[in-house]
A and B are shown apart, each in its own frame.
Chain A
């Protein structure tokens, strides 16, 4: 099951680190970094059902 409750200890720190990683990158390099990050995280999760739920969750926004 996809955990959609808050789950990251140092949330502000994590968010800043994520943005920091993109610092100074142009759009293309940023997109590449995001793609690599998604792959690394997806592999760590591994569970195929959770990955499908995550993709679905990301696709459903209030917008």
Chain B
């Protein structure tokens, strides 16, 4: 059977651009059809913006890579039209165990809050995510959207100009040139665009290696995240076991710094390691294996004029905490409505600077969390190891140390507290839904709040009479709010009116705003 990641999904086809006398200029070009590039293209197409995606490859991600997707990522995927497929195929999990040496230190249950459409996390192979995104591109094309996916098209040169960006594309039939009014490089951690533009990518490399393997096995292990510190089968190092769909299991084995990567990746070396972990009697098959050194780095700025970097190209984190693809989709969620507004002449170009500000802040938060996890898993000095082991030794008997155990703080959306797009608020409301935060989902009489908000500016009013909203702005008036809706949104007066941006982040909230208050807040959120 051919694996999904071996099948060309968007093979090279000759484009009319290749026969044009002068380079054809496109509104937006996205470089890279990874999860982030595809999400960007779909989002823009849904906003009615024509977009071309070019990728040197023509297949989905080789091997699973990302497996753990967060609630916010699923909510964004709902808006992109693939949320149901992800959740139906994915494995929903809440429980985990932490082992220290031979013993179980403790078990945990994430106990997700009720009243949300989407679970806290699902596990799903990255190649399924990419496959569903490609399917969604095809669906949009069938509906007549101006979205194009060009495989076998490698960007080999980039030139920036006042009014556009020029690109050279390499194909099997030779190179050709195109132009883009706006360029979104989503060409991954090794971003050739970043290199061609001479942009820096500073940060830390962690002196450690991890063997990452996906095995297919019919095993009795429960659907839990198991993490070992210093297990008998990998002395002095750590290990992870986590379930994916189709009886595929993710295994991470920490290897240490001084190793021979090529040697470690050979099945003759990998299989005995896995046997030691899983037990000799467990039958398994190796689907994919790789050895990684992790790093935390980011670009200084994500916006360089008409070039807007997103995803791993802009920032890279270690996978502990599942913040790579999850945060990449939050980049495009933040960027696409802004870029669409600018292109439509509905917002000033400076709105794009807030993409830079908000997502750089988010990247720093992700890097901080991911660095802390990595420092716990790979203590960087004798004394940090002493404290790490002290935490683990106490964890079994002293509950208080369990929150200190850091095998990854799973991705939560950043709150843009200091964003200039927020309207300062008057009154007392729940902190979780303050301006800058992403919307908290809640049940409505006719479905879910986030589905109702959708992807344009929207106003929610609970408890009070509906306000006047500017034309074209969606009004969600809930006369009889659920308890969840009230706890998450109502102020001291028992109600409130909340303005959501198209990326479902909160822009403003009031007790009883006038139509002018709302119109002003929308202008402000558009960077006017």
Asked if residues B386 and A39 are in contact (CB atoms below 8 Å), the reply is no
Minimum distance in angstroms from A21 CB to a CB of chain B: 14
Q: Say which one of B246-254, B359-367, B398-406 lies at the interface with A.
A: B398-406
User: Binary interface profile of B, 375-401, with partner A (CB < 8 Å = 1, else 0)?
Assistant: 000000001001101110110001011
A-B contact count (CB 8 A): 26
Q: A36–B394 Cα gap in the complex (Å)?
A: 7
Interface residues of A in 8-35 (CB under 8 A from B): 31-32, 35
A40 within 8 A of B: yes
Q: Which of B383, B387, B391, B398 has the most chain A CB atoms closer than 10 A to its own CB?
A: B387
CB contacts (< 8 Å) of B383 on chain A: these are 31
CB contacts (< 8 Å) of A40 on chain B: these are 394, 398
Asked if residues B400 and A36 are in contact (CB atoms below 8 Å), the reply is no
CB contacts (< 8 Å) of A43 on chain B: these are 398, 400-401
Asked if residues B389 and A39 are in contact (CB atoms below 8 Å), the reply is no
CB contacts (< 8 Å) of B389 on chain A: these are 32, 35
Asked if residues B387 and A35 are in contact (CB atoms below 8 Å), the reply is yes
Give A46's nearest chain B residue, CB to CB. B400
Minimum distance in angstroms from A63 CB to a CB of chain B: 19
CB contacts (< 8 Å) of A38 on chain B: these are 387, 390
In the complex, besides A36-B393, A39-B387, 18 extra interface pairs with C-beta distance below 8 angstroms are A31-B383, A31-B386, A32-B386, A32-B390, A32-B393, A35-B386, A35-B387, A35-B389, A36-B390, A38-B387, A38-B390, A39-B390, A39-B391, A39-B394, A39-B404, A40-B398, A43-B400, A43-B401
Give B398's nearest chain A residue, CB to CB. A40
CB contacts (< 8 Å) of A39 on chain B: these are 387, 390-391, 394, 401, 404
In order of increasing CB-CB distance, the 6 nearest A-B pairs are A35-B390, A43-B400, A36-B390, A35-B386, A35-B387, A31-B386
Q: A40–B389 Cα gap in the complex (Å)?
A: 14
User: Binary interface profile of B, 190-216, with partner A (CB < 8 Å = 1, else 0)?
Assistant: 000000000000000000000000000
Give A44's nearest chain B residue, CB to CB. B400
Minimum distance in angstroms from A3 CB to a CB of chain B: 21
CB contacts (< 8 Å) of A36 on chain B: these are 390, 393-394
Minimum distance in angstroms from A35 CB to a CB of chain B: 4
